[in-house]
Amino acid sequence: MSQPPDIFGLIRYLAEEKERVARQQPRGIPAFIEWRDQTYVGSIQEIAPEFSREIVLLNKSPQPVSEEFTTAVLALDKGRLRLQAEAMFDLRARIHILRRAGDRLLGLTEEQQEHLQREGVEVTEETTGQSFTAFSPKYYADPDYKGTSRN
């Protein structure tokens, strides 16, 4: 028999998460990400809304969360976004640039990839009080580079 959820820990987690996504630029949207039969906690940011609202930066936990944690958080945050990522992706890293279509995370279209390579996107994420740039062509001049961060 499993332990009941630590309600005060969950409330503290949700308050800290709310502060964290509020510091993200553009502002993050908290989400659960389901990938390869596991659930991860994270957020998405729309990073090129003037071109396509589908292009998002996914920031996810490196380790999956338990079913009990997921159920408890959803009980307190009923409107939480739940996203399904394609199993073919390698999402072991924490940060990824993907395409959001409803509740699905997909690969970018060729047109979206070309836009990002041409225009670039600067994204700042606040983690433990530190800022970093997730993607910017002024740092990554090589258009063949497929990563999202060299920091």
Per-residue pLDDT reduced to its tens digit, 23-71: 887 888 999 999 999 999 999 999 899 999 999 999 999 999 999 999 9
Q: 55 burial class (0-12, 13-18, 19+ CB within 10 angstroms)? A: buried
Report how far residue 119's alpha carbon sits from residue 103's, in angstroms, rounded to the nearest whole number: 26
Report how far residue 83's alpha carbon sits from residue 135's, in angstroms, rounded to the nearest whole number: 22
From 56, 47, 45, 50, select the one nearest 108 (Cα to Cα). 56
Per-residue pLDDT reduced to its tens digit, 75-92: 989 999 999 999 999 999
Q: Quick one: tokens of 30?
A: 């908290």
Contacts 24+ apart (CB under 8 A), 134-142: 134/57, 134/95, 135/47, 135/57, 135/97
Average pLDDT, the chain: 82
